[in-house]
Structure 1
Amino acid sequence: MIRFASLILLLLAGPIAAQELTLPAGARQLSDRASPLDSYDLPTGPYADGIVPARKTEGRVERITWRLQSGSSTTLQLLAPLRDQIVAQGYDVLFECEARACGGFDFRFGTEVVPTPDMYVAIQDYRFLSATRGNEVLSLLVSRNPPNGYVQMIRVTPVDAEVPPPLVIEEPVKQTVSLLAELERDGHVILDDLHFRTGEMTLGDGPFPSLGLIARFLKDNPDKRLALVGNTDDTGTLDANISVSTGRAQAVRARLIEEHGVAADRLEARGIGYLAPFTSNATPEGRDLNRRVEAVLLVN
């Protein structure tokens, strides 16, 4: 938990805390959206009387999300060390709540959340915190979808302020540590940076860093092969979903062969439709997470 909190500390650290910190292997950054000038409504209280009370802020807005292995940790256990770190950095906690006290469904959909699959929020299992430091504002949103936890940070810095320091560790290094370590540890990994148009089997233009990592892994491990497995949500018939999921897996296989030089006999492509859901299909967020392609490790 302390190692994960150090990632947030690294992001928030100003000139006073310039030490390099190690990115925890169990935490994987999913998105980083920064706007040089934008607005953000910072929640300042729970949902009440049909609204989420908020303070409108303007400036440089960063929206960053992570996924981590949460195990049996509660949302409070995930949030508490992050809260300690931002307080240590000089932030004052303005408002904090857990799912029901926040307003449940109404608060969740009344505040800004990065779209799935980059952020997942369980309606009955999340915590929120907003904080200020001078003219800067920050919010943290934490939720779980066991065995994974999800963290969203939104930070607004005045346009005339010094730009906050970026992560010390570069993105390719971070992805190499997390995605390939996860593949070797668990025998499979979700390629969650891939993009398909809704209902289509054509893979987007990319670039998709995960495919470069997969190609390098196969080059460095000539005794291993991969099965690319397409998955869908439960909308429609099983036959139709198997067809779509197979087509998407085949599109990923073709991209690895044609653009990354992977030998065709090192890759299989299969689709299993909605037969192996990652989570429940009862919510839009769950259905988004279930539409995925996984790489499964095969040892000759």
Structure 2
Amino acid sequence: MIRALAFCATLAAAPLAAQELVLPEGARQLTERISPLDSYDLPTGVFADGAVPSRTLEGKVERFTWRFHAGARTTLQILSPLRKQIKAQGYDILLDCEARTCGGFDFRFGTEVVPNPDMYVAIHDYRFLSAVRGDEALSLLVSRNPPDGYVQLIRVSPPGKEPEPPLVVAKPEVKVETEGLLEVLQRDGRVILDDLTFETGADALGAGPFASLANLARFLKANARVRLALVGHTDDVGTLEGNIALSQRRAESVRDRLIEVHGIDGERLEAEGVGYLAPLTSNLNPEGRELNRRVEAVMLGG
């Protein structure tokens, strides 16, 4: 169902009538549920007066979810290219909102969402879009569980009508990723340095180059009063003492690279390790343990 194609080639080859949406490279399909005849309550407005306004549609209902490595991209950066493509294909947008304006918790639980773990929705960090084109309709729900991103697509077509082609996966422009890192750092005060590589169980940072460190260095040089804490994290394999020591050494390796390669004053950089005490997600499966092994940059101010 998912084919790897170049972004530009996909847009050039596909007519506007074809529903081909480009997802980020590496998107892994988690759910495909197709009902030949079903109903779906398509949200048409934000939560108000105790309910989510909706339009009940009947026909062939398809439900898909994907997970991919979002890195530092925001939900808006994930949704924006999908929204542009939907508009280009002739859809009219009915609803386009982010978590706060949608209605937060109430909207999230007032509309249909594929259950966890096939779709993850952060109550304060999601975006929703619904659209129609003639007798067809679709909705998109985007959220993050850093460093992963999730997309849910639900689409409805009249009974007996063949649906448009499925989604296509293509590589995103690197510019989006690198700009997003600094945006997240300034907005949240912390960001995951998701392109760093370490050998399993080792503390030496890979050869690189790493775009995240180049961007951090550029940011620090432009903001002379800012300091950073580099914080290492691990999974829960092994003892707490051993994991704290390993995470500390990895953070120190990142600090050393910023000093030696990028010329950052060591007085502006701290290195700490917390082992497995601050996981992003469960350590009960390999995917969760991989996500929890990371180094974050935390902004300390002047």
Q: TM-score range by the shorter chain?
A: 0.5 to 0.7
Give secondary structure in 1 for the equivalent of 2:40: strand
After superposition, the Cα gap between the structure-2 partners of 1:67 and 1:96, relative to the gap in structure 1 and judged at 3 Å, is same
User: Could you tell me which of 275, 285, 288 is aligned with 1:292?
Assistant: 285
Match of 2:116 in 1: 116
In the alignment, is the contact (CA less than 8 A) between 1:67 and 1:148 conserved in 2? yes
What residue is the counterpart of 2:156 in the other structure? 156
**One-letter code aligned to 1:152:** Q
1:78 equivalent in alignment to 2:81? no
Q: 2:96 corresponds to which letter in structure 1?
A: E
| 3-state secondary structure, aligned to 2:56 | strand
Structure 1's 187 and 103: CA in aligned 2 closer, same or farther, altered over 3 A? Answer: farther
- Consecutive unaligned residues of structure 1, counting only runs of 5 or more, are 170-184, 189-229, 232-274, 281-288
- Structure 1 residue 65 and structure 2 residue 58: aligned? no
Root-mean-square deviation over aligned CA pairs:
4.1
- Give the Cα–Cα distance (whole angstroms) in 2 for the partners of residues 60 and 166 of structure 1: 14
**Aligned match of 1:178:** none
Instruction: Report if aligned partners of 1:126, 1:142 keep a CA contact under 8 Å in 2.
Output: yes
Report the TM-score, using the length of structure 1 for normalisation.
0.53
Q: Secondary structure at the match of 1:127?
A: strand
- 1:90 corresponding residue in structure 2: 90
- TM-score normalized by the length of structure 2: 0.53
Amino acid at match of 1:82: L
Distance of 2:33 and 2:74 partners within structure 1: 27
Q: Classify 1:278/1:113 alpha carbon distance in 2 versus 1 (closer, same or farther; 3 Å).
A: farther
Q: 1:279 to 1:154 in 2, by over 3 A?
A: same
Following superposition, the deviation at residue 279 of structure 1 comes to: 2.6
2-structure distance, mates of 1:5, 1:136: 27
1:160-184, Cα deviation, whole Å (9 max, x unpaired): 3223334689xxxxxxxxxxxxxxx
Give the Cα separation in 1 of the matches to 2:161 and 2:75.
32
Aligned length: 190
Q: Structure 1 residues 167 and 91 mapped into 2: Cα distance closer, same or farther (>3 Å)?
A: closer
Tell me which amino acid in the other structure corresponds to 2:155.
Answer: R
Tell me what 1:247 maps to.
none
Shift of 1:25: 3.6
Higher relative contact order structure (alpha carbons within 8 Å, sequence separation ≥ 6): 2
- Cα 1:68–1:110 change in 2 (3 A) is same
Q: CA, structure 1 residues 151+75, in 2 after alignment: closer, same or farther (shift >3 Å)?
A: same
List runs of 5+ in structure 2 lacking aligned partners.
Answer: 170-196, 201-234, 237-275, 291-302
**Is 2:27 the partner of 1:27?**
yes
Q: Is the 8 A contact 1:44 1:55 kept in 2?
A: yes
Q: In the TM superposition, what whole-angstrom CA distance separates every residue of 1:99-138 from its partner, at most 9, and x where no partner exists?
A: 0000000000000000111100000000000000001110
Letter in 2 for 1:292: N
TM-aligned CA deviation for residue 14 of structure 1: 7.3
Query: Aligned AA for 2:285?
Result: R
